[in-house]
Amino acid sequence: MSQQKQTPMGFFLDLAFNLVIPVMILQKLSSRFGETGPLVALVVALSFPLSFGFYDLIVKKKRNLLSILGFINILFTGSFALMGLTRNWYIAKELLLPTLIGIYVWSTSWRNTSFIELIFFNESVFNMDAINKKIGEKSNRKDLKKLMLRSTQIFATTFLVSAAANFFIAGNIFTDIPYIWTSTERAAIRNYEIAEMKKWHYIVLLIPSLVMTVLLLWHLVSGLTKITGLKMEELVNAEATKK
């Protein structure tokens, strides 16, 4: 499969269509359409990562990891609600997703192209011609590889920390709902808890990830300045910033 470079904007669009929007659909539609609401919401929510993933596979000839993760996340969340599973299943799911992302990002450290190289270190952000020329002149490609590896592992750590935070918060939000309530009432209570969890989810996972993205770009620019001797304005792709 092709491993095409992805722009930062492309990454965040992936995040929105594969994770954020499907979760919002699951929350908003579950309480509508009567007793079939949770099933309708699940089908509609699953269509986003499924169609996005198939588009990338057929048109771009590449697998979309976020589509796969988004599909699994929505499938688990929606199915858990339909089956009326206990709180422990929800807590485990909230721990699992960021952990899997963190492990995946960390694992790319040992590949030819690390996660940071794939997402940030490309022509859409940096002046690759100038950087490669300086790297060749100074013969310090090993230092560049170390910078990418370290940056990738730092980024992966943010997801692992978020997983631990998710586990703690989920343990305080999700409850075992008594069966004295009707199935519709239990679904409403669970959907409320899921909505509460997602509010905190954006705080402990998405916002720190965005902050870390900015800090990592600063870390990359600082590291590249030391390695290449180029100034910041020489490192950044000026043409890309004008688009």
Which residues partner with 236 through β-bridges? 126
CA atoms within 13 A of residue 223's CA, in its CB half-sphere:
19
Same domain (yes/no): 25, 144: no
Residue range 141-163: mean pLDDT, rounded:
86
Same domain (yes/no): 64, 91: no
Same domain (yes/no): 51, 93: no
Same domain (yes/no): 77, 187: no
Same domain (yes/no): 99, 75: no
Same domain (yes/no): 215, 100: yes
Which residues partner with 126 through β-bridges? 236
Q: Which two tokens stand for residue 57?
A: 């596979």
Residue range 80-95: mean pLDDT, rounded:
82
The structure's pTM equals: 0.67
Same domain (yes/no): 71, 95: no
Domain count, the chain: 2
Average pLDDT, the chain: 79
Going by pLDDT thresholds of 50, 70 and 90, the confidence category of residue 171 is very high
Going by pLDDT thresholds of 50, 70 and 90, the confidence category of residue 172 is very high
pLDDT > 50? residue 86: yes
pLDDT > 60? residue 75: yes
Same domain (yes/no): 136, 236: yes
Same domain (yes/no): 43, 152: no
Residue 77 near residue 26, CB atoms below 8 Å:
yes
Kind and range of the H or E run holding 161: helix 141-173
Residue 138: predicted pLDDT:
67
Same domain (yes/no): 111, 223: yes
Same domain (yes/no): 52, 127: no
The domain in which residue 18 lies consists of 1-83
